[in-house]
Structure formats: C-alpha cells, structure tokens
Structure 1
Amino acid sequence: MKFDINKLIARTLQIGVWFSMFLFCVAIAESFFKKSNLAYTSFFGILKGLYLLEPNAAFYAGIVILMLTPVVRVLFLVFGYFIERDYRFSLISALVFFILIFSVYFGIH
C-alpha cells in the first residue's frame, strides 16, 4: 500500500475542524444550563475549565483546536515528506513549522 500524504493532510484538517465544531456545540449546550463570565488566559486554565464544565472553556478550547489544526498539518507534512524521502520539502516544511512555533511564542510573550 502506497503512503498518500494528501489523504493524511486532508484527514488532519477534517478531524481538527469537526472536533472544534463539536466543542463549540458543547459550549452552546452548556451555556443554556450554566452561565460563565470567566476568561481563560492559559492552556492549563482551559483544561481546568473543561474539567469543571465551564461553557467559556469549551469555546476557548474550540478556538485553540481550530488555530492549532494548520500547525499540526505542517508538522505532518514534515514527517510525510521524510517518509517519502523528499528531504528538500521536508526541510522546507520543518522551517515553516519552526517559524510558526516561534511566531506563536513571541506573539504571546
């Protein structure tokens, strides 16, 4: 069986969007039963809010998943091109991945 990187990338994007949409729907359903005025500023705060079933935490988690989906896609491209032995595109994808990570890091701090 031949490895198809395009199917992997398409499946990654689909899973990210569907999971994010699921979290948005959960947040909407939770907001009917419980009101929340909390704003989450950290990843662990979002996880704690999800554990406590806070509606805003589900919204924030959905947004984070939606934003991380392209980053995960680029990471899968690095490994996919490496498996296909296309080292030039693997290196370019790794460079794009590190640029994304550094821009997120320096954008937060």
Structure 2
Amino acid sequence: MIKDRRALYQSELWKELDVSSRTGSRIASKLEEKGEIRREATVHNGNRTYLLRPAKKDLDFSLLMAGDKISPLVGNDGEIDPITSDELSEWIFQLVQNQ
C-alpha cells in the first residue's frame, strides 16, 4: 500500500488494515526497523501522526556486470534480440566464467 501510494499516513494504514492504532503503530515501527519505510512526524487533520514513505534503497549495479562488462541489454531500447544476440551470449559466458 505504501509503495503504491508513495506516501500514507499511519492513521490511514491502520484503518485500511482494519487494526487498532496500537497494532498499526507496531506494524509501521517494524517496517521502519527493517528499512522498508521511513516515518516522518507530521500533523494530519489536527492530529499528530506519521507520514509513511517507502525507503529509498541503494541499487546494486553489480548484478548487471559480468567481469568488467555491463549487460548488453541495458539501455538498448529493444534493439538487441536476447535470443539471437552474440553480445548477450558472450556476456552470459563471461558471467558463468566469473562464478
């Protein structure tokens, strides 16, 4: 829900989940502890609450690498056919060799 809406008040979360405010607070706290969301203190409809946002996660670009070569499918705008591409086959071969 939080990812889909990009932001959600904690009070809306527990109402949507049909749980008590205490349970909703615990859920939000656990999500924050796991690094899934950020909780920002705010006021909504005159009440103190938290605005819940998805946590920004660092991307792991190493997953696109085989040795020192980046996947030929990255940024190709569909110009490479993954079934017949010699470049992709060579990249996959390099990936297997590195493991």
The alignment's TM-score, normalised by the length of structure 1, stands at 0.25
Rg comparison, structure with higher value: 2
The structure with the largest helix share of the pair is 1
Higher strand share: 2
